[in-house]
Amino acid sequence: MSRTNHASYRLPWPPSLNRLWRSTPGGVKLSEAGRQYAVAVSNALPVGVVRKFRKRLVVWVFLHAPNARPIDIDNRCKALLDSCTKACLWQDDGLIDELHVMRGVPDPAGAGYVEMIVQELDSYPEIA
């Protein structure tokens, strides 16, 4: 598997999956927290520098929580990845073939943030 183009981003702390969706009489909808997070991600990406990845991807996510309380790290990925799709960082998060999520040190400033590295794959491994 060959890896080529890559970029790194520092993004705001995502809401928990438990806060991402709301049931309404009209069906299930993205919550206010989810909508605000999508805007925050879009605003955090560099203007004019962001590229739209179109190839298969490997993504590393380093979660720096606001404090030292335990968190469920997989509970943060949905909001992050969907918001990156909405911000046109990639065509669709279905391009991600490898997703590595790691707990980083808590943010000393107390806000929490995500470091994310996105790398394109030149070739896709053959699986027999």
Q: Per residue in 22-34, pLDDT tens?
A: 888 888 888 899 9
In a domain, 11, yes or no: yes
pLDDT at 47 over 60: yes
In a domain, 89, yes or no: yes
In a domain, 41, yes or no: yes
Tokens 């896709």 correspond to 124
Average pLDDT over residues 104-123: 94
Residue-level pLDDT at 49:
59
In a domain, 127, yes or no: no
> What is the extent of the structural domain holding 62?
3-121
Average pLDDT over residues 92-96: 93
Instruction: Convert the pLDDT of each residue in 76-88 to its tens digit.
Output: 999 999 999 999 8
The tally of domains found in the chain comes to 1
Residue-level pLDDT at 83:
95
Q: What is d(CA 26, CA 119) in angstroms, rounded to the nearest whole number?
A: 39
Mean pLDDT, the chain, whole residue set: 89
Q: 11: domain CATH number? A: 3.30.1330.70
